[in-house]
């Protein structure tokens, strides 16, 4: 395994100073984190992928290194990602997104079909209405209350809140590298990242769950590229059945369950995650299509 740390880089995207990490050469795999994670969480995955591909982990606006932007709706953020790829001169990527990042790359595939050659949705939001009540509670906070909460959580004692949230997001926190915990702590101390996270929650969820306006379940049939849906078997934030239903709606979809993982499944079960993603990224999609039956379908996709 390559333990060399990916290169930290910045570019301007529509006037926004944009942070990303870069490793390897070859076809591009774009890794997009959610609101409670950051690009550095992808480093172990990047080092594995860099053996055969160029791996890029992007920081979304306002969520840990990239300047904030006023519009955090998934469609707007997907447009930002498309602009980012244009700046890099990258025409097509294998797009991998976790949680909110999964919804963003799904929108990217819908908006720019030629920009995405394969797609991986990891415990992705926007695939249905159901979500944990804790997310709903944060989403319905009035804006002033959300700003106050961001200020309080960014104080030194806010680390306790991160510990509580880890119980919701992770099943096996002892498997998380110390460097990853340190990066998470820095993110938890960022008032801007906390404010943006709550803003994203308000845009994506309401009192009845995930907002119908942001869900892509009814449009998944438009995504014709090979798509792998990976889900933590103990995801408490978003139900497993939502991912399975999404895989069934995709024309070339397959589904994999990481049995011991929670919502941040690629941190909870890194080896199992890489087994699923690595073969999907590197194998011939014609030979691993549903008609050809690949081992990544063992999670239950018919």
Residue 218 belongs to a domain with what CATH number?
3.40.50.1820
The H or E element spanning position 144 is: helix 143-153
Axis crossing angle, helix 191-204 with helix 178-188, rounded to the nearest 10? 80
Q: What is the pLDDT of residues 20-48, one digit of tens each?
A: 999 999 999 999 999 878 899 999 999 99
- pLDDT (0 to 100) of residue 25: 96
Q: What is the mean pLDDT of each run of 10 residues along the chain (302 residues)?
A: 81 96 97 89 94 97 90 97 98 97 98 97 97 87 57 45 56 65 58 82 93 96 98 95 97 95 92 96 72 42 38
- pLDDT (0 to 100) of residue 180: 63
- Domains identified in the chain, total number: 1
Task: Show the domain range for 107.
Answer: 7-130+213-299
**DSSP state letter for 286:** T
Q: How far apart are CA 223 and CA 200, in angstroms?
A: 24
Q: What is the pLDDT of residues 150-203, one digit of tens each?
A: 444 444 444 444 444 556 777 776 666 666 655 666 555 566 777 888 889 989
In a domain, 206, yes or no: no
Q: Which pTM was predicted?
A: 0.86
Q: Evaluate whether 141 touches 203 at the Cβ level (below 8 Å).
A: no
In a domain, 248, yes or no: yes
In a domain, 200, yes or no: no
3-class DSSP state of 84: helix
In a domain, 141, yes or no: no
Q: How far apart are CA 215 and CA 120, in angstroms?
A: 17
Structure-token match 């938890």, residue found: 188
In a domain, 190, yes or no: no
In a domain, 42, yes or no: yes
């Amino acid at each position: 395994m390559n333990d060399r740390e990916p290169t930290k880089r910045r570019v301007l995207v529509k006037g926004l100073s944009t942070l990303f990490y870069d490793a390897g050469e070859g076809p591009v795999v774009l890794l997009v984190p959610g609101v409670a994670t950051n690009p550095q969480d992808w480093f172990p995955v990047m080092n594995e992928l860099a053996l055969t591909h160029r791996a890029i982990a992007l920081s979304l606006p306002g969520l840990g290194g990239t300047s904030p932007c006023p519009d955090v709706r998934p469609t707007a953020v997907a447009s930002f990602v498309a602009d980012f790829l244009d700046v890099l001169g990258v025409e097509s990527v294998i797009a991998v997104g976790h949680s909110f990042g999964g919804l963003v790359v799904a929108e990217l595939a819908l908006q720019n079909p030629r920009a995405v050659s394969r797609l991986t949705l990891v415990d992705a939001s926007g695939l249905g209405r159901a979500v944990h009540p804790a997310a709903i509670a944060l989403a319905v906070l009035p804006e002033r209350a959300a700003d106050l909460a961001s200020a309080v959580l960014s104080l030194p004692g806010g680390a306790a809140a991160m510990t509580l949230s880890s119980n919701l997001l992770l099943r096996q926190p002892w498997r998380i590298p110390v460097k990853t915990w340190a990066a998470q702590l820095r993110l938890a101390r960022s008032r801007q990242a906390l404010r943006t996270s709550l803003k994203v929650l308000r845009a994506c969820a309401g009192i009845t769950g995930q907002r119908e306006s942001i869900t892509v379940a009814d449009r998944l049939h438009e995504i014709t590229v090979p798509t792998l849906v990976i889900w933590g078997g103990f995801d408490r934030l978003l139900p497993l059945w939502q991912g399975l239903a999404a895989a069934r709606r995709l024309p070339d979809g397959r589904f994999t369950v990481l049995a011991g993982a929670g919502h941040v499944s690629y941190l909870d079960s890194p080896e199992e995650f890489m087994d699923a993603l690595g073969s999907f990224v590197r194998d011939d999609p014609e030979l691993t299509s549903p008609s050809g039956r690949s081992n990544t379908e063992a999670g239950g996709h018919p």
